[in-house]
Structure 1
Amino acid sequence: MTPADVGKRVSVRRVADAPDTGAKFTDTVGVLTSWDDGVLSITPKSGDSVRIAEASLVAGKVVPAAPARRRGPAASFEELTRVAARAWQPVESEPLGDWRLRAAGGFTRRANSVLPLGDPGLPLGEALRRVRQWYEERGLPAYVQTGTGADGAQERLCADLEQHGWLREVSAELRIAALAPVGDLDADVSAVRLSRTADDAWLSRYQRFDTPGPHVLEVLGSGPSVWFASVAGDSGDAAGGVPAAIGRCVVDGRWAGFMAVEVGPEHRRRGLATAVMAALARKALDEGASAAWLQVETDNEGARALYDGMGFATHHRYHHFRSA
């Protein structure tokens, strides 16, 4: 391994920083993003850059670009990133080279961040200044969405953003699975109501805003084929009161994306999230989809356990970096 391997996936062993713990060495696997002035920078799939003094290295080698996945449909990083972006379409967007600047009145970071697939057509520092200006003009914070942990992902861009002072605020996993097993889940879907629109009752459970403006409905309704699911609460019909559970699904070719799956605290542990997922999956199967994806924040242990049981496996992680 040499400085010429910058940009490649590497595995390095170094002398442990805290030898009093009993460990003599520490191993790091990730993309080598820089090697300057006797210091290496490696970005693993978590997105956290690790700086290593060259003098502490014991061994290092280039390893395959990404380990083979054992579960889930075949998919590239770019394909899934574009599919996910189509499920949260902005109200306004503008190209910056191959990048896409997106805004939707601040509703969801996914619709209010830069999608940096490709070359911005400018030196990075200049491109980031243009990004900040564009969002400042709209009264919004500037975010850049990146991905790590898959072949063709953006570890080098993550490291470059950090060097320019951008801060990683949120990280999540993009998970994938075969769709049919989700539709076959053992769940009572008879109480799940499906609709093409998010009505007031659905929005009352989806508490991501104070008062939903037209931009919220525009983003939620965006996508090639959108379905909303709700389960009535104990007091009556879901359309007239706060639902016990809700969900959203966007069908896009072979992909069905699941999002906004929420269950009221008083209704949890009754299988309602599973019922919502199964009902939406069956509708997506009817429309010809065969693969499923969803996004879950890395610290949401309950949701991660639920999706583990449904067969979802992590394809890559994505992050939102905010201008400092």
Structure 2
Amino acid sequence: MLTSWDSGVLLITRRTGDTVRVAEDRLAAGKVVPAAPARRRGPAASFPELARVTARGWQPLESEPLGDWTLRAAAGFTRRANSVLPLGDPGLPLDAALEHVRAWYAARGLPAYVQAATGAEGTQEVLCAELERRDWVREVSAEVRIAGLAPLDDTDADVSAVRLGRSVDDPWLRRYQRTGEPGPHVTKVLGSGPSVWFASVAGTDDVPAAIGRCVVDGRWAGFMAVEVASAHRRRGLATAVMTALARRALEEDASAAWLQVEADNDGARALYDGMGFTVHHHYHHYRPRAAAADLPTTDDRGPGDQGTDA
């Protein structure tokens, strides 16, 4: 997408969020490209619907509207719960809105992050380009993938060892490797959502061999925190965890699945390819180049980041 044309330079944003600068004297021709045809695999979903559903899977401890934007904070646990969700007009000129964002997060001792998306109809390529023009840097990029839920139930995975529960317990947290000593803010974020389920497979020393989390929200089931201990990988445990969670979500009348995974996590992406998940769009976290140090908590590598069965 052509996102800016200024001072003789064209800025083109790819679906993945990568940007390319082209001198206008190198431009030979251009044309309007129609919207991509409807997807043939997976459930139909618009970007605004998915953005709101995925946000409800990682709910902050506090939030504040800024026009159509939402500022979110959760004491620094996950960028998804500690970033701006900019779905629409902030009600201010962009520079003023970003200044408000920086002040709001600074008051909470947090770096300012804006989560913006690319790669689907209605995503935010122009906002991404404007952030880069203002020296905001892209720090994390991930894929949002979707699939039909029923096929996840149609596997030969042995789910007999998978235990499901409504609350997160200490053994589950000991396997969850994306935070240090978990405080109450961590358990509150993990437990947030319309209908939350936690899965675990017994391991050794009171630490599960595998874990997972699922948030059921209407027709959607979101899969998160799927982790397998290194000593137990390639035994089908990630598939078993997701199958057990999918079956419970189907019992709650969900029909579609989503997950988030970093674009460079090849192992997890291969696993999800095999399960029929396709990329719907990409999202990116931007922060001012001169902002404070990175969040001292987790990243957004998504399900399977600590090892999958791929």
> 2 CA distance for matches of 1:137 and 1:59?
48
Unaligned runs of 5+ in 1: 1-30, 236-240
Distance in 2 between the 1:139 and 1:192 partners?
Answer: 39
Deviations 1:21-63 (A, max 9, x none): xxxxxxxxxx211112222111111112211111111222111
Match of 1:283 in 2: 248
Q: 1:269 aligns with which of 226, 234, 254?
A: 234
Question: What pairs up with 1:200-219 in 2 under 5 angstroms?
Answer: 200-219=170-189
Return the offset for 1:322. Answer: 1.1
What is residue 42 of structure 1 aligned with on the other side?
Answer: 12
Equivalent in the alignment of 1:168: 138
Range with greater deviation from structure 2 (34-43 or 179-188):
34-43
The answer on whether the counterparts of 1:101 and 1:113 sit within 8 Å (CA) in structure 2 is yes
CA distance in 2, matches of 1:186, 1:163: 50
- Determine the structure 1 residue equivalent to 2:99: 129
State the AA in 2 paired with 1:271.
G
Kept in 2: contact 1:77–1:150 (CA 8 A):
yes
Q: Secondary structure at the match of 1:141?
A: coil
Q: Is the 8 A contact 1:66 1:149 kept in 2?
A: no
Alpha-carbon shift at residue 65 of structure 1 (Å)? 2.4
In percent, how many aligned pairs have the same letter?
Answer: 76
2:219 corresponding residue in structure 1? 254
State the partner residue of 2:62. Answer: 92
Q: 2:268 is aligned with what amino acid?
A: A
What's the offset of the Cα at 1:70?
Answer: 2.1
State the one-letter code of the partner of 2:230: P
Whole-angstrom distance in 1 between the partners of 2:177 and 2:169 = 13
Which structure 2 residue ranges, 5 or more long, are not aligned?
A: 290-310
Higher RCO structure, 1 or 2 (CA under 8 Å, sep 6+): 2
Trace 1:1-324 onto structure 2 (pairs within 5 A). Answer: 31-234=1-204, 241-324=206-289
**Structure 1 counterpart SS, 2:156:** coil
TM-score scaled by length of structure 1: 0.88
Give how far 1:78 is off.
Answer: 0.4
In structure 2, C-alpha distance between the alignment counterparts of 1:176 and 1:213, rounded to whole Å: 31
One-letter identity of the residue aligned with 1:211: E
Q: Distance in 1 between matches of 2:17 and 2:68?
A: 22
Question: Aligned with 2:55: secondary structure?
Answer: helix
Greater than 4 Å deviation, 4+ residue runs: none
Is this contact kept in 2: 1:97–1:121, CA < 8 A?
yes
Alpha-carbon deviation of 1:67?
Answer: 3.9
| 1:25 corresponds to | none
Q: 2:296 corresponds to which residue? A: none
Question: CA offset at residue 234 of structure 1?
Answer: 4.5
Aligned equivalents of 1:210, 1:296: Cα separation in 2: 21
Q: Deviations over 1:111-163 (max 9, x none)?
A: 00000001101100110011000000100111000110000000000000001
Tell me how far 1:319 sits from its aligned partner.
0.5
Separation of aligned partners in 2, 1:275 and 1:35: 50
CA apart distance, 1:288: 0.2
Separation in 2, partners of 1:188, 1:276: 9
Q: Distance in 2 between matches of 1:318 and 1:271?
A: 29
Corresponding letter in the other structure for 1:86: R
Contact in 2 for aligned 1:231/1:246 (Cα 8 Å): yes
Greater Rg by CA: 1
Q: C-alpha root-mean-square deviation of aligned residues, in Å?
A: 0.9
TM-score normalised by L of structure 2 = 0.92
SS of equivalent to 1:60: coil
CA distance in 1, matches of 2:18, 2:106: 27
Q: How many residues are treated as equivalent by the alignment? A: 289
